[in-house]
Amino acid sequence: MSRRLGKRKGRNAIQLLLKKTGALLPLALLSSTFFFHCRLFHRAFATGFFGGDKFPSPESLQGSIKDVPVQLHLMPDRSIENNVTTVYHIGFDRSFGQTNNQLFSLLRVLDRMFDERGEFTWDGSSYNSTAVVAVSRWAKKVLDLFLSTRPHQKLFPDLSWQQAIETHQLPIVTFNRLKLIPSEKEFIDLRSTEAYYYRNNTVSPPVLAQRRKTILRKLVQLIPPFRYERVNLLRKYLREHGYGERFAAIHFRTLDGQCEWRVGPLLPPHECFMKPDYVKDLLRSQYGPNLARLPIVVVSDMQDDQGLLDLRADQEIGKNVIIPAMTGPWSSALQVQGRDHFDVVDDMILAINSEFFFGPRVSSMTLNIGMMRVAMGAHPRTNLIFVHHKLRSPLRPFGDWEVCGQCVFYCNKNLTNICGDRVP
């Protein structure tokens, strides 16, 4: 009887203890787990595990520069430290528009830097400029999309392009690199909209065009080889079907239904709809009357399926129309293992490598493709983007064509019949 009572008292004591501390035990366990994971996260973030800006210790900062081998010296180590006093920072706020608008914002930040600090030259070891553009967040991501070997990998991103771009004679650095430089800099933070809408009408058009060609040529040269797999597969497909390797490319973009409004009232908006008659008439101006064996590659935002189907259904050119983003006879031939879909850079690489290219002039992607094509050696007049109808007749409703090849770099406002009311 006394043993049973003693056991009962013991059980009651344990129950009382649990009752008093039971609410605290889970909290204690959660707290210890929380602080443990915080330490892990801090260590991972500090070492760049997540691909973000690093936060190294002051001791590691002092050793990081001198530990870099001489042949791998980064541009900030030898240029920013010695010459650059002003940093134009972009990417810290919300991006303006999609990929190609963001690329335009970056190009116009470079414009502002050159306008205010002078054109830059490279003597093999340093820049003559006293300024540099630093990219962070969305601005770094857009470069990562074009230049990374793993552009869609967020957990383990490939950031090796940062060193490549900084040693490829470009006045662009990633913002986290600046933390390696202890000297004082003047930082000019530019919002994305401020960068995108920057204009300086005092710069001569040839100077602006040369800037674009220089910067974009170097960027295209840094695009990793895997990005060219699809265009190589396309050429193989064309050879196997007796076309050769030449092809024309169309950028079919409705811009969320705003294309016609953006073109404005001065021009007929044929480029927004890419009707078969318009496409054929424009191509005949370059290839002659017979288009039966001309491959036509269409890159599109897929917002107008009916327009794409109309091209495929045309009796004259339909069988030669290839739309990589749609299912068709070409689908298996253009398939790349591990990459199930086309992204914007894949589309741009296809269009850059075309013999002739056209698309809506009000699309930043169209303009960037046009500029990149010229930067890589294509004749400006192979960009059938800024065109003017010279003659019309009942038999040729779209007339003959005058082409402004340089208009992808700048537009002469006096030629509104070619450039429209929009200046790129």
Average pLDDT score over residue span 300-327: 90
DSSP structure class, residue 298: E
CATH number, domain of 359, equals 3.40.50
Average pLDDT score over residue span 255-262: 84
Q: Is the pLDDT of residue 240 over 90?
A: yes
Residue 388 phi, psi dihedral angles, 5° rounding: -135, 135
* Residue 272 and residue 354 in one domain: yes
Q: Give domain status of residue 83, yes or no.
A: yes
Alpha-carbon span 383 to 82, nearest angstrom: 42
Q: Which domain range does residue 158 map to?
A: 62-201
Alpha-carbon span 201 to 3, nearest angstrom: 100
275 and 310 Cβ atoms separated by less than 8 Å: yes
pTM of the model: 0.77
Question: How confident is the model at residue 170, as a pLDDT?
Answer: 82
What residue type is 100 in one-letter code?
Answer: N
Identify the bridge partners of residue 127 per DSSP, sorted by sequence position: 122
Range in 126-135, 309-318, 344-353, 365-374 the model is least confident about: 126-135
Q: Is the pLDDT of residue 62 over 60?
A: no
* Residue 274 and residue 363 in one domain: yes
Q: Model confidence over 259-288: pLDDT tens digits? A: 888 887 767 788 889 999 999 989 988 888
Q: Give domain status of residue 397, yes or no.
A: yes
* Residue 255 and residue 375 in one domain: yes
Question: How confident is the model at residue 113, as a pLDDT?
Answer: 92
* Residue 231 and residue 187 in one domain: no
Q: Give domain status of residue 257, yes or no.
A: yes
Residue with tokens 């980064």: 74
**CA distances (Å), 422 to each of 26, 213, 223, 266, 313, in order?**
64, 21, 30, 10, 33
* Residue 145 and residue 262 in one domain: no
Q: Model confidence over 377-394: pLDDT tens digits? A: 999 999 999 887 666 565
* Residue 244 and residue 189 in one domain: no
| Final residue before a domain boundary, out of 201, 218, 242 | 201
**CA distances (Å), 355 to each of 276, 296, 323, 352, 358, in order?**
19, 10, 17, 9, 10
